[in-house]
A and B are shown apart, each in its own frame.
Chain A
Amino acid sequence: MSLLELTGVRKTFGAIEALRGVTFSVEAGTVVGLVGDNGAGKSTLMKTITGVYQPDGGDIRFDGVSLVGKDPGAIRQAGIEMIYQDLALARMRDVASNIFLGRELTRSVIGVKLIDSKRMRAEAEAMIARLGARIPSVAQMTGQLSGGQQQSVAIARALTFNPRLVIMDEPTAALAVREVEHVLDLIRTLKAQGIAVILISHRLTDVFSVCDRIVVLRQGAVIADDATRDTSMNAVVAHIVGATDAPHQGAHP
């Protein structure tokens, strides 16, 4: 049984069919690259997995249990974390609050659950150190950090709660070369730990260097799903731009 199984997932926004029956699966401890042109439905698909959107059809199963109808909190609880392209950080709050956002540690004072900032800061500190990220202080406002540091916070948040599947939406798009290597190494480490990763990226060299399988999304449907060793850069690019779509081939002579 696959860790994550999508079957015929559909999502429409008004008259627009963003996802038209997406089917693919992710095994534990593998890295799957999800590529496609802008508007192919990659982010919509991922937000449907994480519960931000509800699918209009099809099924999403994680470890055999359907995720349909669950809210983002429950899906994170089940073990799926996502690092969003915009990082989804509360920029006016400190690093520790962001890492624990949605899962705040509390202590009970006369029956009232109060947020335990001290413990959250200590644990956030430990997590940041384990990742080898350099952040001035976990008490710092997240919005005051550099782009790379903010990304470290988003990554730390995704990895703090022992996820079994981590989805990364364009994690390297805004990074310098050295930081890109750092993220790719991180993906390899996760894989070695048996954690599955879905990597969304426009940078095909990154995708080819870390992914076991590459899924190409085009106009809301999967048009290619191959092991990395069985495909090539040219083939993937051809799928992305639609050069392999049968109806399109003769349309522009």
Chain B
Amino acid sequence: MASTTTQAASASWRQRIAGGAAVRLESLIVLAVLCAVMAALSNAFLSVSNVLNILLSTSVFGVLAIGMTFVICSAGIDLSVGSILALSGVVGAMLTSNLDLPWWAGIVGCLAMGAFTGWVNGFLITKGAIPPFIVTLGMLGVARGFALVLSDGVSIYGLPSQMVWLGQGRPFGVPTPVIILLLTALAAHVLLAHTRFGVYAQVIGDNEGAARAMGVRVERQKVLLYTLSGLLSGLAGLLFAARINSGEPTAGLSYELTAITATILGGTNLFGGRGSVAGTLIGALIMGVLQNGLNLLAVRPFYQQIAIGAVLILAVWLDRISSKEGWRR
């Protein structure tokens, strides 16, 4: 009896700390410790320009991870985000550079290409009843292939200045991608935590049969979830292309790894049911700080791949250990 009351008390304590945003305390601690270590190892780490640098590099896979949060909390997975990023960027660049369409057509093209590819994922997963893992793994190859075919394997340089501003502009000294990331996160947080769409995504991950029995249109919802993930991959593709002023068919290689890691680090349950955009943002920052810190410490990029992969496995393992709380699976 005593143990159950303390359990309930600690649960409510946790809930109160986490608040509506449901950020895991552990994620914040990891981020803080990581920042402290990096600051101790490198003088340059805490400079304003470096912090902005971290935020800037976080913005692209941060946007991907936000879409991933919706998909993972519905007990799905989207492995195709990196490839959709590349395909969208190439399409946006081709529309403006090769076809001489105006800048807004490039933006719409990026987003539409991403959303459409995501919709195809969702359509195959629901209508074809193929597991998300397989569909999006296939799309990882297909979308990348299309990006290479369309661009003939070479970068497409020269975007309109308005598009480039999205990647390189600095209104009020803050890089535009960072502002876009924060606005996207804000909208996504409201969507995930405070609307039916977001709650149903989590309920589907929690108990799909219950969601269906209670009148949630599960199939329609899933199609929308993968379309959203695709749309955000398109947005990430736009930001990436704008930042380097070119559509790059090999952009975003293995970004799905970074996005999934950021999502899991942020406390979204790998097996669905519970997700947090604010947490994902923290997770993305952890990845950004890690990459930046390793760069500052002049660690060869090859080791960064090892670090990211190891962090993913570690994050899931820690989640497993702490999952004895009952309401996590």
> Taking beta carbons and an 8 Å cutoff, which residues of A are in contact with B?
47, 50, 52, 71-77, 82, 84, 86-93, 97, 101-104, 106, 112-115, 136, 139-144
**Could you tell me the distance in whole angstroms from the C-beta of A30 to the nearest C-beta in chain B?**
24
Known contacts A92-B206, A144-B327; 19 additional CB pairs below 8 A are A72-B215, A73-B214, A76-B214, A88-B214, A90-B203, A91-B207, A91-B327, A93-B199, A97-B199, A101-B211, A102-B214, A106-B196, A112-B195, A115-B196, A139-B12, A139-B15, A140-B8, A140-B11, A141-B11
- Cβ contacts A to B, 27 pairs, < 8 Å: A47-B213, A52-B213, A71-B217, A73-B217, A74-B215, A76-B215, A77-B215, A86-B209, A88-B209, A90-B206, A90-B207, A90-B210, A90-B211, A91-B206, A91-B273, A92-B328, A93-B199, A101-B214, A114-B194, A115-B195, A115-B196, A115-B199, A140-B8, A141-B326, A143-B326, A143-B327, A144-B8
B194 and A88 contact, CB distance less than 8 A? no
- A104 contacts across to B, CB distance below 8 A: 196, 199
A144 and B11 contact, CB distance less than 8 A? yes
- Nearest 4 pairs between A and B by C-beta? A73-B215, A102-B214, A88-B210, A143-B327
B202 within 8 A of A: yes
B190 within 8 A of A: yes
B134 within 8 A of A: no
**Could you tell me the distance in whole angstroms from the C-beta of B3 to the nearest C-beta in chain A?**
13
B206 and A72 contact, CB distance less than 8 A? no
Nearest residue (CB) in A for B199 is A115
Tally of B interface residues using CB under 8 Å: 29
B212 within 8 A of A: yes
**Could you tell me the distance in whole angstroms from the C-beta of A132 to the nearest C-beta in chain B?**
21
- B15 contacts across to A, CB distance below 8 A: 139
Nearest residue (CB) in B for A89 is B210
Q: Is the interface of B mostly helix, strand, loop or mixed?
A: helix
- A139 contacts across to B, CB distance below 8 A: 12, 15
Known: A91-B327, A92-B273. Is A102-B206 also a contact (CB below 8 A)? Answer: no
Q: Which of B7-29 contact A (CB under 8 A)?
A: 7-8, 11-12, 15
**Could you tell me the distance in whole angstroms from the C-beta of B142 to the nearest C-beta in chain A?**
31
Cα of A71 to Cα of B221 in the assembled complex, Å: 14
> Taking beta carbons and an 8 Å cutoff, which residues of B are in contact with A?
7-8, 11-12, 15, 190, 194-196, 199, 202-203, 206-207, 209-217, 269, 273-274, 326-328
- B274 contacts across to A, CB distance below 8 A: 92
Known: A92-B202, A141-B327. Is A72-B195 also a contact (CB below 8 A)? Answer: no
A113 and B202 contact, CB distance less than 8 A? no
- A72 contacts across to B, CB distance below 8 A: 212-215
B194 and A90 contact, CB distance less than 8 A? no
- B215 contacts across to A, CB distance below 8 A: 71-77, 102-103
A115 and B206 contact, CB distance less than 8 A? no
Cα of A91 to Cα of B210 in the assembled complex, Å: 10
**Could you tell me the distance in whole angstroms from the C-beta of A167 to the nearest C-beta in chain B?**
11
A50 and B328 contact, CB distance less than 8 A? no
